[in-house]
Amino acid sequence: MSKYVKDLLTKDLAGRLDGVEECVVADVVGMDANSTSDLRKRLRSKGIRLMVVKNSLARRAFEGKPLAPAFEGVDGTAAIMWGADDFVALVKEAVDLDKNGEAFEKFTARGGVMDGEQLDAASVAKVSKWPSREEQLSMLVGQLLGAGSQLAAQLKGPGGQLAAQVKTLADKEE
């Protein structure tokens, strides 16, 4: 491949992933065309994109960018996964495909990058156990509403007891 063509490919790759700061790097070598097509369809339905790249081109394209650590120490071809609602959802899907994807047995999550730091396969597995953005928001709302409902109950309780006693006295006088 000529240097001119490599430069065009690296510019195209950098342009496609411009603005992406977190990704998962996976190994899809050995998958047949039908499995790859099914994999892409499954990922697309969840808002996840997949692109197979040559690591040397990816290193050149992402040099000095947030995705650069993802390709340190990785050799051969790799698949870049990005997208989804949040990074934890992306990682959960990658780990699910790695462990439970019977049709995708050649799929292996290698690592990735999160907040500019490189993740290895073990770190990806740890991140997959974190709560997703939706789960974190529901936990936050529960904590906010829990304190408010406790306060309301404490304010309402003595007033309710006093009103019940007044009503009892009024019933006795009738």
CATH architecture of 3-130: 2-Layer Sandwich (3.30)
DSSP 63-74: TTSTTGGGGTT-
Write down the pTM of the prediction. Answer: 0.73
Name the residue among 92, 94, 68, 65 with its Cα closest to residue 81.
Answer: 94
Give the tens place of pLDDT for each residue, 25-54: 999 888 888 888 999 999 999 999 999 998
Domain ranges of the chain: 3-130, 131-174
Number of H-type helices and E-type strands within the chain: 6, 5
Of 55, 83, 84, 85, nearest to 70 (Cα)?
A: 55
> 64 to each of 59, 122, 169, how far by Cα in Å?
9, 25, 79
Q: Which amino acid belongs to residue 2?
A: S
pLDDT at 2 over 80: yes
Residues 72 and 118 sit within 8 Å (Cβ to Cβ): yes
The position carrying tokens 């990005």 is 82
Q: What is the pLDDT of residues 55-84, one digit of tens each?
A: 888 888 888 888 889 888 888 888 999 988
How far is it, in rounded angstroms, from Cα 21 to Cα 68?
10
The pLDDT tens digits of the residues spanning 110-124 come to: 899 998 899 988 999
Q: CB count, 10 Å around CB of 171? A: 8
Amino acid sitting at position 24 = V
- The amino acid at 128: S
